[in-house]
Amino acid sequence: MPVSRLPELDRTVRQRLRDLLRREELTAMELSRELGIPEKEVYAHLEHVMRSTSGSGDKIRIWPSECLACGYVFRDRRRPSRPGRCPACRKSHLRPPAFRLG
Ligand SMILES: [Zn+2]
């Protein structure tokens, strides 16, 4: 039985994702556009890259999401996905987190 080509494609996408994040900081939405994959797949790849680069010097840094209504910053958030609403003012007008490698 031929094996799925997906693992190979995943590696290619993650390599491109790394290259993009070495050049500039990007949000998941921007990465989705650049890579041509859905935003939720971007999060899955980001989590994989975050796991696989921990321990090396090649580390993903997260610019935390911020509430545009009251200025609350989601500093303690470790997951790369965007939060739904602000715990301080309950509004959902949020700047999404941005990512950068290195
Ligand atoms: Zn708020």
> From ligand 1's centre to the CA of 66, what distance in Å?
8
> From ligand 1's centre to the CA of 37, what distance in Å?
30
> How many domains does the chain divide into?
1
> From ligand 1's centre to the CA of 39, what distance in Å?
24
> From ligand 1's centre to the CA of 85, what distance in Å?
8
Q: Measure the CA angle with vertex 48, ends 45 and 54; round to 5°.
A: 135
Domain that holds residue 50: 6-101
pTM exceeding 0.85: no
pLDDT digits (tens, 9 = 90+) for 25-75: 999 999 999 999 999 999 999 998 888 765 666 788 899 999 999 999 999
Q: Would residue 1 count as lying in a domain?
A: no
Q: Would residue 85 count as lying in a domain?
A: yes
Confidence of residue 102 (pLDDT cuts 50, 70, 90): confident
> From ligand 1's centre to the CA of 55, what distance in Å?
34
- Burial of 63 per CB tally in 10 Å (0-12, 13-18, 19+): middle
Cα separation, 8 vs 4, in Å, equals 8
- Please report, for the domain that includes residue 95, its CATH number: 1.10.10
